Amino acid sequence: MNLSFDNTQNAFAYKSTADLKKAKFLISVIQNPIMVSLATKLTPFLMKIGFPMNGLLRNTVFKQFVGGETLEESGRTAKLLGSYGAQVILDYGVEAKEGESNFDDVTSHIIEAIDFASTQNNIPFISVKITGIASHLLLEHLNEAPRLRSGIHDSESENAAWERVRERMYAICDVAQEKGVGILIDAEETWIQDPIDRLAIELMKVYNKEKAIVYNTYQLYRNDRLHFLQLSHRLAKEGGFILGAKLVRGAYMEKERERAQKLGYPSPIHQDKAATDLDFNVAAQYCLDNKETISLLLASHNEASNLAIAAAMEKLQLPNNYAHIHFSQLYGMGDHITFNMATQGYNVSKYLPFGPIKEVIPYLMRRAEENSSVNGQTNKELVMIKVELARRKAK
């Protein structure tokens, strides 16, 4: 297999030397947990009181992790990425406020993004957070009540609210199917995930008959998700539809463990990273073994996991651009994986959020915190950038 993640020239070809130096500085800062903790607490407060932060944010974390404020700006970023062989997962990064009118507004923005994606040649997916179009409290109530699993609601208002959520998702998926754009439903915390899983399966039954339009997200740091993936596949085979499966390790580990300890129930998170890695790799191989009935999106910054699936594809003599296997990394991270895979012709994308600076602050703060908590990963990013800067200087 010719795939290697060591070529820094491929990894950073799309970045100017000036941008690379900015990225080096930013990642160096992000490696300092104290600085990140201070920034994530101060930034939202300063924005709220009207302190002029836009310029600073635009030239630092926003430029590193966000495609632009508008679809048009994101489109320019997508074209740049596409010129180096990368595809794009577009995400309206604004976190919806509670209220039906806000949920409807987010739905409209998502549909607008689908329309836009269909006019581009390298935006095959749109990401959707159900918490952007549904009340968090509603999802929690639906998750807690076992009777609701049968579809029986004992609250008329909640029944009506959930019906509106379903209508929003059907409206989104109708347009997605018409335009040929995939919908990636994000995973959430365990205490609101069940209704999202049920809705994802319901939508797949309708829209995934011929090809995968709807994908559910499986967080493999949860100790029950490998089993749930296999259960989902069984339902897909019984229902005669293709399972769309986006695999991630997970995003809410500390929050999940703290809540479990506080409320006195067993943590849903694996005890260590080795167990998470094992489940993730087994899940990925399971999807590959069932490639005719599962469409896999492997969303990972883990080099070993990406290499393992690439090697398994080669063993099966599958082409690098096999339609049911797609790889993805976040915009602003994992460039050595994305662009080295792109040069070898794999289906690989950048997850590209967009939205007004002040509205995507929560997303940016999560990215900063995530980077500061994964030292090994940020160290690798920094080393790769330094190697590329040295290579360019030596030319």
pLDDT at 152: 45
Task: Show pLDDT as tens, one digit a residue, over the chain (395 residues).
Answer: 789 999 999 999 999 999 999 999 888 877 777 766 776 677 766 667 666 666 667 777 888 889 999 999 999 999 999 999 999 999 998 876 789 999 999 999 999 999 999 999 999 999 999 999 999 999 998 888 755 444 445 566 688 899 999 999 999 999 999 999 999 999 999 999 999 999 999 999 999 999 999 999 999 999 999 999 999 999 999 999 999 999 999 878 888 999 999 999 999 999 999 999 999 999 999 999 999 999 999 999 999 999 999 999 999 999 999 999 999 999 999 999 999 999 999 999 999 999 988 788 777 776 666 655 554 566 888 999 999 999 999 97
d(Cα 56, Cα 217) in Å, to the nearest integer? 33
Six token digits for residue 75: 């489109």
pLDDT at 381: 87
Q: Burial of 176 by CB count in 10 Å (0-12 exposed, 13-18 middle, 19+ buried)?
A: buried
Mapped to the 3 state alphabet, what secondary structure does the chain carry? CCCCCCCHHHHCCCCCHHHHHHHHHHHHHHCCHHHHHHHHHHHHHHHHCCCCCHHHHHHHHHHHHCCECCHHHHHHHHHHHHCCCCEEEEEECCCCCCCHHHHHHHHHHHHHHHHHHCCCCCCCEEEECHHHCCCHHHHHHHHHCHHHHHCCCCCHHHHHHHHHHHHHHHHHHHHHHHHCCEEEECCCCHHHHHHHHHHHHHHHHHHCCCCCCEEEEEECCECCHHHHHHHHHHHHHHHCCCEEEEEECCCCHHHHHHHHHHHCCCCCECCCHHHHHHHHHHHHHHHHHCCCCEEEEEECCCHHHHHHHHHHHHHCCCCCCCCCEEEEEECCCCHHHHHHHHHCCCCEEEEEEECCHHHCHHHHHHHHHHHHHCHHHHHHHHHHHHHHHHHHHHC
pLDDT at 47: 65
For the chain, domains (ranges, CATH) are 65-369 (3.20.20.220)
